[in-house]
Structure 1
Amino acid sequence: MSQTDDGLAGFGYKQELERTLGNFHTFAAGISYISILTGTFQLFYFGFSFGGPAYWWSWPLVFAGQLMVALSFAELAAHYPVAGSIYNWSKRLGSQHVAWLAGWMMLTASIVTIASVALAYQITLPQILDFFQFAEDPAVNAVILGTALIVFTTVVNAWGVQLMARINSAGVFIELIAAVLLIVLLAANITRGPEVVMETQDTGAGHSMGYLGAFLVASLASTYVMYGFDTASSLGEESHNPRRNAPKAILRALIASFVIGGLILLFALMAVGDINNPEIATGGLQFIVLDVLGSTVGKVFLVTVVIAITVCNLAVQSAAIRMMFAMARDNALPAGSKLARISPKTKTPVIPAVVTGVLAVVILVVNVGQPQIFTVITSIGIIMIYIAYLLVTVPMLVKRFRGQWPPPETPGVKYFSLGKLGLPVNILGVLWGAGIVVNLAWPRREVYNATEPYHWYLEWGAVLFVGGVAVVGFAYYWFRLRHHTGILDDHRATDPEKQEETA
């Protein structure tokens, strides 16, 4: 195995991306995608409004399930340190057809996520300064602020991976320090005990399933946050020693996010002046921070939330770019040769950066007057990510049952391994993933059609749209692309003796 390509030629590819990232860079990529400050500040109001303080229990529940997936991904990251991790893992575990569907789902979802994360600026920036309220209509203003953010992250990602990594790492460092300080300050101002997380505030009264029904809806707030840890491995072709560093980065990003996020949510519930204040269900953590810490200190922390949103969007777009590049060099996307082109100056795929940025802005603009539809599309994006994860963990489980996992190891290389725990962890990961997809896609008016006008197609939007994206996308692949896929000559490793079969 070459010391410079980490066995990349063994997968049929030549080294084109620049290997400059260290251990902290890959960890920062994973944790900024999850982005605790972004997710908790953007979605706390949703979980609280549907489940009351007891919604907090969804945080450790989602962590436990996602840990099963992350452990399986850690094994894969050690064996297959290749860009576009989900796509390439699925290709080597299943088939090219399954891999294409996984990549298509992940790529589409990532572009939607770029747009949805950018909307978080609207929740925070105008609360810091009125200057950022450029338009009277909040939906229009959200598009303006979101577009500005997407333009910024597109330029940075196109400029080169070193600039992206430096900004991302600096942002994550600030985010982590701010998060720890926020935990300390909230803990210093607690007004009630931890038993607050047992209060449901009678939120289950309107559900046929009682509080369980309310909790399942509220748990979406945690489900929407704790994913994206695979980003650490998506940068495998740009990292030093990715077989060792990527598995650690995946697990560290998820565990750190769980601990920090869980404490912020817990102490926020314990510190807010009036736990029954109706503004908590609308203003979320932003309201609590300003209520507990006061306007001046509270706004300082909101600035760090803006930084977290920025690097989160940077990481999400970076992962989308690597996915588009990975699929394009296999000629598995239209205009593959152009999308897979690496800039000789920046050593990064510039065209995918521009394409993902433009498509994300289009999603914002098209839905500016239709906030309910945008909510559906955002939810669909997250559902597709969890489906893409299943298209990895299910083939992996099949390989385990057939005795084909783990694959043969390269002599002298130390791999992350679950050993005998691999099978039960993999089974739990699959069951968890299936359950999450069902809960996410479940047609509920309060999630997908919360305000008038009520339309059946919005309530069933997740099922209809995800099915439509899957069918249309796979049909295009089946009838148009599948006979032409294969590593493009410009990206093929030059030593055929090192190449594995990549079909």
Structure 2
Amino acid sequence: MSGSSNTRASSADQDAEQLRALGYSSDFNRSMSLWENFSLGFTYLSPVVGVYTLFGLCLAAGGPPMFWSYLLIGAGQMLVCLIFGEVVSQFPISGGVYPWARRLVGKRWAWMVGWVYAWALCATIAGVAVGAGPYLAIMLGFNPGPDANIIIALAIILLSTALNLVGTKLLARVAMFGFLCELVGAILVGGYLLIFERHQPISVLFDTFNLEVNGSYLPAFLAASLAGLFQYYGFEACGDVAEETPNPGKRIPKAMRMTIYIGGAAAMFACLALILSVPDMAKVLAGEDTDPVATILANAFGPIGSRLVMAVVMVSFISCVLSLQAAASRLLFAYARDEMIVGSSLFKRLSANHVPSFALLVSGLVPAAIVCLGMFMADAVATIVGFAAIGIYVAFQLIVVAALIARAKGWRPNGQFTLGAWGLWVNLGALVYGVCAIVNMVWPRSPDAAWYINYSMILTTLVVMGAGLVYMLLGKPYDKGTAPAGDAWKFSKPLAKGGELSGAAVNKPAI
């Protein structure tokens, strides 16, 4: 027993020493295990929430081959995940993308990354909370209206805030419970559907049902691939709690990869089961069955059984909001610790439970305010929520570009996880994938709609980034703190022959 305690104490000392070497000290409670850290990313990614929410829309847009978008986009996001793994392994600092950008490039770049990512997270929290309304209605047996969805969303955000304020241990346990419920639910529900409620042959996955635009199926498939694009993010949340995870340089990159391939496999299995269980594909494609998920579950499980399934789905929604809010609060905490935001003295303060309580409250209040806009401007809320995914993808690509800039300056990843000589090529692949994904997301697909609806994602992104740029240039919030920035190359080691890292540190003048 004493030997185990000594080992844990030694590991904690090493983690604290690594953080001090990076210019920080921490009062966070390092109690999150590898599987709990992974569960945070998994419930943020939430296969059930992602698949169930977009299944009907994307199946109608591209037909059953939309299934393959999960595989293709998962492979692309894995490239991004590998780059993030290299960065967090070397810079395991709370806040994720913001401190990574700060060390890779500098303060201004980091400020913009944090600004975009913070608003995207708040919009995502609001969107997921609002999206839970119809599923709770099915579970409780009533027809929800817009006001009911708003009340449900506010209740979920309030519950998430209360749970997060209790502390890291409860966050980890709820995330783990959400992961187990979601995974078991996906396997049991999907398995039952495939065994007892299968109405389509496996060959339907290759049947386009003549969904063509100007003689080509590609536009329909790209539209349907939004299901995958909205699915594969959440792995970065593993790094947001780096100071709450022992041995983060090794565990967090592994947890990130687990999030992609376990979460992706669960999403693909759930999607496959739903596609093969559609009783009348023609009605879905014709727009006559606008909610095929509800139709499938009602046919398969009946009124009582479908409500039990919805209970599992609700656990997924709540744990997803919980993980998103935890990520947003750690980002705000990291921002405040470096004096990058008004009210930094409050937002960087940890409670007796070792959580950033004021940051958590703001991470609940801002999404709640977005939700409340639905009482007055439903279209505005839809537009803001639409920014959620594109904002996160933009923030991701700013990190991918930052890693390339740092490599050009001489940075060679030197954490416990590195890609070695493959790093540059994976980095370039992640950039190409990310740019293509963003273009696909913002591409206008409703020629009969008003221009501001077709280009709403681009407009909201430009407004958020433009406002952030103006604030940054006029207020210069990035210039108030003295935390290290733009120094990734200082921690590098040069490449020896054969692409392996040598033992000598790079000796360059400080920036």
TM, length-normalised to structure 2? 0.88
Aligned to 2:65: 54
Distance 1:224 1:209, change over 3 A: farther
Q: Does 1:298 align with 2:298?
A: no
1:401 CA drift (Å)? 4.1
Read off the aligned partner of 1:317 and give its amino acid letter.
Q
Indicate how the Cα distance of structure 1 residues 369 and 72 shifts in structure 2: closer, same or farther if over 3 A, else same: same
Show CA shifts across 1:328-361 (max 9, x none): 1111111111111111x11111111111111111
Q: 1:476 aligns with which of 453, 471, 476?
A: 471
1:392 to 389, 394, 399: 399
- Paired position in structure 2 for 1:444: 445
Residue type at the aligned position of 1:79: Q
SS in structure 1 of the partner of residue 14 of structure 2: coil
- Structure 1 165/82 Cα, relative in aligned 2: closer, same or farther at 3 Å? same
**Gap runs ≥5 in structure 1:** 410-414, 490-500
Paired residue for 2:109?
98
Instruction: Give the SS at the match of 2:465.
Output: helix
Please show how residues 35-434 of structure 1 align to structure 2 within 5 Å: 35-130=46-141, 133=143, 138-189=145-196, 190-204=198-212, 207-208=213-214, 210-278=216-284, 282-343=290-351, 345-407=352-414, 415-434=416-435
- For residues 404 and 273 of structure 1, the distance between their equivalents in structure 2, rounded to whole angstroms, comes to 55
Q: Secondary structure at the match of 1:445?
A: coil
Q: Is the 8 A contact 1:11 1:502 kept in 2?
A: no
Q: CA deviation at 1:322?
A: 0.4
Shift of 1:6: 5.5
Q: Secondary structure at the match of 2:291?
A: helix
Offset, 1:209? 7.0
Name the counterpart of 1:498: none
Whole-angstrom distance in 2 between the partners of 1:371 and 1:194: 40
Shift of 1:285: 2.3
Q: Is contact 1:118-1:313 (8 Å) kept?
A: yes
Q: Tell me if the contact between 2:161 and 2:361 (Cα under 8 Å) persists in the aligned partners.
A: yes
Contact 1:124 1:286 (8 Å CA) reproduced: no
Identity among equivalent positions (%) equals 29
Q: TM-score, normalised by structure 1?
A: 0.89
Tell me the secondary structure at the aligned position of residue 444 of structure 1. Answer: coil
For 2:28, which of 17, 30, 35 is the aligned residue? Answer: 17
Q: Contact between 1:203 and 1:211, CA under 8 Å: does it hold in 2?
A: yes
CA distance in 2, matches of 1:228, 1:459: 27
Which stretch shows the higher mean deviation, 188-197 or 92-101?
Answer: 188-197
CA distance in 1, matches of 2:295, 2:375: 25
* Distance of aligned partners of 1:221 and 1:241 in 2 relative to their CA distance in 1, 3 Å threshold: same
Moved more, 144-153 or 261-270: 261-270
* Contact 1:21–1:240 (Cα < 8 Å) also in 2: yes
Mapped to 2, the partners of 1:288 and 1:6 lie a distance apart of: 54
Give the superposition deviation at 1:487. Answer: 4.7
Kindly provide the amino acid, as one letter, of the partner of residue 286 in structure 1.
A
- Return the alpha-carbon distance in structure 2 between the equivalents of residues 23 and 212 of structure 1: 40
Secondary structure of 1:406 counterpart: coil
Q: Is the 8 A contact 1:139 1:369 kept in 2?
A: no
Higher mean C-alpha displacement, 189-198 vs 325-334: 189-198
Contact 1:286/1:302 (<8 A) preserved: no
Displacement of 1:403 in angstroms is 3.9
Contact 1:83 1:234 in 2 (8 A): yes
Map of 2:460 onto structure 1: 465
Indicate the RMSD between aligned Cα atoms, in angstroms. 2.3
Match for 2:332: what amino acid?
M
SS at match of 1:282: coil
Distance 1:221 1:37 in 2: 12
Q: 1:412 matched to which residue of 2?
A: none
Deviation of 1:309 after TM superposition, in Å, equals: 0.5
Would the alpha carbon gap of residues 6 and 307 (structure 1) be closer, same or farther in structure 2, given more than 3 Å must change? farther
Aligned to 1:495: none
The alpha carbon displacement at 1:71 in A equals 1.1
Contact 1:38 1:308 in 2 (8 A): yes
Three-state SS of the structure 2 residue aligned to 1:471 is: helix
Write the distance in 2 (CA, Å) between the matches of 1:272 and 1:439. 27
Aligned partner of 2:412: which letter? W
